[in-house]
Amino acid sequence: MGFFRGAAVAVKARDKNGRAPKDDCAFCKVIQGKAERYAVLEDEVSLAFLDRRPLFPGHCLLIPKEHYETLIDVPSPLIAPLFANAKLLAQALEEALDAEGSFLAINNRVSQSVPHLHIHIVPRKKKDGLRGFFWPRQRYPDENSIVQIQNAVRAAADRLKSSR
Catalytic, 118? Answer yes
Return the SS3 of 80: helix
**Residue of 59, 116, 118, 120 with catalytic role:** 118
Contact partners, residue 140, CB within 8 Å, separation at least 6: 52, 54, 57, 146, 149
What distance in Å separates the CA atoms of residue 77 and residue 79, rounded to the nearest whole number? 6
Residue 82: exposure state from Cβ atoms within 10 A (0-12, 13-18, ≥19): buried
Helix axes 76-97, 143-162, angle to 10 degrees: 120
Q: Which residues are catalytic?
A: 118
